[in-house]
Structure 1
């Protein structure tokens, strides 16, 4: 986080909260994909599903970093 960018953090907070809900969905997808890949390792589409779920889990942090970078110090 930037040293003097609290405004960007505050502006990005509502979007990060929405992204937090989406990341919970990503966690559920990731757990489902992990269980499915353990049961049937021949499913190669599960790897793409797991990668998408991990990117959804990281979404709130990406949004906060992006919003703080948009506000000049």
Structure 2
């Protein structure tokens, strides 16, 4: 991770902004899914949706890492 790849960062920035919006949606879905699974444990599908939402929250970091790894030094 010591490499400086500003071109990959700049190319990936618009995609990371879109991913950030998706992560905000994921945070809301995670919150609702967590509340529903705590209220009624029989709603096991809400736990799966909450886990999917956690992946959406991590999406901007994954997008930026992928773009910066695609640009050679």
TM-score category (smaller protein): over 0.9
What TM-score, normalized to structure 2? 0.94
Gaps of 5+ in 1: none
CA contact (8 A) 1:5 1:68 kept: yes
- What RMSD, in angstroms, separates the aligned Cα atoms of the two structures? 1.0
Segments of 4+ moved more than 6 angstroms: none
What TM-score, normalized to structure 1? 0.94
Quote the residue 2:54 is aligned against.
54
Which is worse superposed, 57-66 or 40-49?
Answer: 40-49
Could you list the per-position Cα deviations for residues 15-49 of structure 1 after superposition, in whole angstroms to 9, with x for gaps in the alignment? 00000000000000000001101110111101110
